[in-house]
Structure 1
Amino acid sequence: MPEPEIRKTALQLETIWHEGGPVAETPLKKGAAIAVIRNPFAGSYHAEIAGFMDDLKPLGLRMAQELIDALGGDPAAIQGYGKGAIVGTAGELEHGALWHVPGGYSMRELIPESMAIVPSTKKIGGPGTRLDVPITHANASYVRSHFDAMEVGLSDGPKAAEIALVLVMTTGPRVHARVGGLAHDDVKGEDGLR
């Protein structure tokens, strides 16, 4: 397949100082990189689609690097991540699943100590559709303080024959995390869980 046809890209950034409690000494930063591409499978069923994952890999790496740069430029500062896709109405949910490998592995390639599975979500929707992208700790899925989500979306996409591909990263736990469990500083990083 040819290189993905990109209509637009966007970065969404949040800096969270507090959630009603004390102001954090170091705020939590969350960011999302979004790329709206033409869906080459829109409009009809295609039995063979898996090859498009290879075509998406360079885009995944570029988006991951842009997001790391937007969050300060230090890949080691990234503690949480997630991914997602919004498929336009002329596509099918499986087209969003094509983002699992290129989206997840691009972040894991650039972020040191990122053994945890990258959580994901996808849905069908039109322009203005919002997506809650789940977030977990990048190296240990059992770190409760990093269970989070980021709502993303664009007012003009995806159009019917497009897909909005999303990567999300954070620089730490929820700003007032206090529900116990495994802490970031106690992660062993042996199996992506603990």
Structure 2
Amino acid sequence: MPEVAVRKRIITVEEVFHEGGPPAAVPLKRGAIVTVIANPFAGRYVAEIAPFMEDLKPLGAAMARALVDALGGDPALVQGYGKGAIVGQAGEIEHGALWHAPGGYAMRAVLGDAKAIVPSTKKVGGPGTRLDVPVTHINASYVRSHFDALEVGVPDGPRADEMALVLVMTTGPRVHDRAGGLAAADIQGRDGLR
């Protein structure tokens, strides 16, 4: 497999102080990192693409560490996560699926072996395409207070022969969450669900 060729990286962090109600005691931070890489399979059908996941592992680890740093540097601050990919128009949706393991396992490792599956989304699109990346709690997917999504995109990417790979993390529940369900304080942490 070819080397991973990175064109650019974007890191964004937002702080949410309130959503129309009282200000939060601690603002919620929501962060995303997007890395635009060359798609080595663009423009043709390649039957065997799975080995490229191994090549993406170092990128996943570097992205996860950079995003934790952007959110304050302490992995213990992170409570929610998600991942995604936007594949340029000369690629196919399956190329974005190659990000599932390298992106997800990298975040779980950096965050101390988080237990919940990392929610994911992907699509094919051109420069400026936006992607809503789902977020759930890092240790229990059924914690409703942490159901969220971050919209990401790259103004000049992905170009037709590129992919934009995404990781997102949050430092807590939605501000003013009150939809009930399993509370983060009640996570049993055995199966990644509850």
TM-score, length basis structure 1: 0.99
Partner of 2:73: 73
Q: CA deviation at 1:185?
A: 1.2
**Cα deviation 1:65-106 (Å, max 9, x = unaligned):** 000000000101110000000000000000000000000000
SS of the counterpart of 1:178? coil
| 1:182 corresponding residue in structure 2 | 182
Instruction: Give the conservation status (yes or no) of the 8 Å contact 2:116–2:140.
Output: yes
Q: Deviations over 1:8-64 (max 9, x none)?
A: 001011100011111001010000011000000000000000000000000000000
Distance 2:105 2:141 in 1: 16
Cα displacement (A) at 1:113: 5.1
| 1:91 paired residue number | 91
Query: RMSD of the alignment, in Å?
Result: 0.6
CA distance in 1, matches of 2:150, 2:124: 18
> Which ranges of structure 2 fall in alignment gaps of 5 or more residues?
none
Give runs of aligned pairs for residues 30-45 of structure 1, distance below 5 A.
Answer: 30-45=30-45
* SS of residue paired to 1:47: coil
Which residue of the partner structure matches residue 134 of structure 1?
134
* Contact 1:113 1:189 survives alignment (8 Å): no
1:193 corresponds to which letter in structure 2? L
**1:166 is matched by which residue type in structure 2?**
V
1:112 Cα deviation (Å)? 2.4
Q: How does 1:113-124 map to 2 (within 5 A)?
A: 114-124=114-124
C-alpha contact 1:43 1:161 (8 A) present in aligned 2? yes
> Counterparts of 2:64 and 2:83 in 1: how far apart (Å)?
11
Query: Does the 8 Å contact 2:2/2:40 carry over to 1?
Result: no
Secondary structure of the structure 1 residue equivalent to 2:166: strand
1:26 matched residue in structure 2? 26
